[in-house]
Homo-oligomer: A and B are copies of this chain.
Amino acid sequence: MAKEITSRAQDYSQWYNDLVLKGGLADYSAVRGCMVIKPYGYTLWENMRDQLDRMFKETGHVNAYFPLFIPKSFLSKEAAHVEGFAKECAVVTHYRLKNDPNGGGVVVDPEAKLEEELIVRPTSETIIWNTYKDWIQSYRDLPLLINQWANVVRWEMRTRLFLRTSEFLWQEGHTAHATKQEAIDETIQMLNVYATFVEDYMAVPVIKGVKTESERFAGAEDTYCIEALMQDGKALQAGTSHFLGQNFAKAFDVKFLNKENQLEHVWATSWGVSTRLVGALVMAHSDDDGLVLPPRIAPLQVVIVPIFKGDEEKGMIENAVAPLMRELKDLGISVKFDNNDNARPGWKFAEYEMKGVPVRIAIGARDLKNNVVEIARRDTKEKSTVPMEGLAFYVKALLEEIQLHMYNRAKKYRDEHITSVNTWDDFKTVLAEKGGFISAHWDGTAETEEAIKDATKATIRCIPLNNEEDNGVCVFSGKPSKQRVLFAQAY
């Protein structure tokens, strides 16, 4: 009947792959490390993208589009940046194929070699700041608040559907400011936009923080992040917002005439989230029966399944469903009536559970007589009998309740998986037996961070914003520490 899914307890990683593939979100492709985003998964991404896009526009940003290719020399202009990305670049070296004179089919034409190789963008700071040089002369041209929706390529050796693919879809904001403070404010503003989106729409609670130096974006002065927790106790970085200082402005010589008529380098930020969020969504909420999707971004919010014998019953149900469909649509709810004759109700139930449709309405002939329907919510799997009268409003309220419940459930799990530890033994025990975030003192050195990572695979996910000062000693080195930071194993 239903497609088989590996359970979380049996193999969490396989469970995730099963859900993505059998839930119709994505498929493997013939190109190593690249995936195909299937229509159901793409609609989910569209809903996420459209909401983020609204939030970007509400905060004054506009969209633009910059080239896919970056000249190799551009990447080298910011030293830390090239160091961070050089090892995972797809490189275009030729611009023509030809027929093999030796009959070997189509081959690269050696005469069509590029003078300078082109890198398929892994991120666009360099090509964008090279452009901003022409666009910014005076303080009147600032701030420049631009976002781009695009595909990027980072050649990954180990890939996972959505979580880590060689090509992925994302947005990258690139802003230019007259002052350091304004750039920092923008960095924080966009971190807050991301947190609001992930919590209010994806129903996934996040911790806002700042990265340590070793986890910083290549070329940033500070990387802010939101960190989420998955059901296997691993953390997932859900979005980053970088304060870039004047690094790229200096690398690409972008200066502006300030109000005092003096030339200054411009201050920059960049910030991004990607299709990786789809992976986070799946891992945060789903169960052993399939996807569980939050109503606000679900591709389909409500499905109606008729249960009937013979054409007469079928016709009666269809007549009763038609006005309900209209009412739901009028309330802005996406709904599908699945009256496909080729599948039985039980098969359909399992299918829509697999696909994570938040609300399922079943209607049979006896229900019609009693003027009721059966409603099943996907998040709790509770079923109830509900009167037909006022049903559309009931469903609208239920969708909001499901949204809230999913957030609260994920938050409860997350909160229960932040553990304060004060000894190295406790650190290792909690990590091995419970997982989640570990709040511990750290001496602030990259050496200790590295040693802890080597010993446990746990990294510092972030130094939480608004962290309380708390004098203690480093859980690993015993050296003095002024605050706790959050460790976790992570995706």
- Are A97 and B91 neighbours in the complex by a CB distance under 8 Å? yes
Given contacts A31-B118, A43-B62, A91-B95, contact A68 B106 (CB under 8 A): no
Cβ contact within 8 Å between A39 and B68: no
A120 contact set on B, CB distance < 8 A: 68, 92, 120
Which residues of chain B are near A131, meaning CB under 8 Å?
27, 29-30, 36
Partner of A64, one of B37, B75, B87: B37
Please, how many angstroms separate the alpha-carbon atoms of A95 and B92 in the complex?
9
A34: contacting residue among B39, B46, B68, B153, CB under 8 A? B68
Q: Which residues of chain B have C-beta atoms less than 8 A from A96's C-beta?
A: 86-89, 91, 155
Chain B residues lying within 8 Å of A38, measured Cβ to Cβ, are: 64
Q: Contacts A30-B127, A151-B151 given: A68-B167 contact, CB under 8 Å?
A: yes
Please, which residues of chain B bring their CB within 8 A of the CB of A182? none
A69 closest partner in B (C-beta): B31
How big is chain A's contact interface, by range?
35 or more
Which B residue sits closest to A35, measured CB to CB? B67
CA distance A137 to B378 in the complex (A): 30
Oligomeric state, in copies:
2
Q: Which residues of B contact A169 (CB under 8 A)?
A: 65
Q: A63-B39, A106-B76, A118-B90 are in contact. Are A95 and B155 (CB under 8 A)?
A: yes
On whether the beta carbons of B36 and A66 are closer than 8 Å, the reply is yes
Q: In the complex, what distance in Å separates the CA atom of A63 from the CA atom of B97?
A: 30
Q: Mark A71-110, 1 if CB is under 8 A from B, else 0.
A: 1111110000010001111111111111100000110100
Q: Give CA–CA (A63, B40) in the complex, Å.
A: 9
Task: Decide if A72 touches B106 in the complex (CB within 8 Å).
Answer: yes
| Docked pose: A31 CA to B121 CA in angstroms | 12
Could you list 25 examples of A-B contacts with CB < 8 Å? A29-B66, A29-B67, A30-B71, A34-B69, A37-B65, A39-B63, A42-B62, A42-B64, A45-B65, A65-B169, A68-B167, A69-B167, A72-B97, A72-B106, A73-B105, A75-B106, A82-B97, A86-B97, A86-B98, A90-B94, A90-B118, A91-B108, A92-B93, A108-B117, A140-B342
